[in-house]
Amino acid sequence: MTTQQHVKPAVGCLVRDPVTYEALPVEGKLVEMNSYWVRKAAAGDIEIVEPATQDLKTKGDKQ
């Protein structure tokens, strides 16, 4: 079983996703924690964060 974490780059760091080669967005991204991301976290290049909670509003009739 793989673990997924929400990660974002540390301030001033440009970190590329090893799968897409795109820069990790400032707001972060959900990634599969493999050795690449573990190394980046240990080096201080990324922060493991809780994803921003969104206001989930139910659709339908208001009562």
Domain locations in the chain as residue ranges: 4-49
Question: Residue 53 has what pLDDT?
Answer: 60
Q: How far is CA 8 from CA 18, 19, 33, 53, in A?
A: 14, 16, 13, 15
Residue 38 C-alpha from the chain's centroid: 13
Query: Quick one: CA dihedral 8, 11, 17, 23, positive or negative?
Result: positive
User: Under 8 Å CB-to-CB from 33, ≥6 apart: which residues?
Assistant: 2, 3, 4, 5
pLDDT (mean) for 11-25: 96
Separation of alpha carbons 50 and 46, rounded Å: 13
Evaluate if pTM is beyond 0.85. no
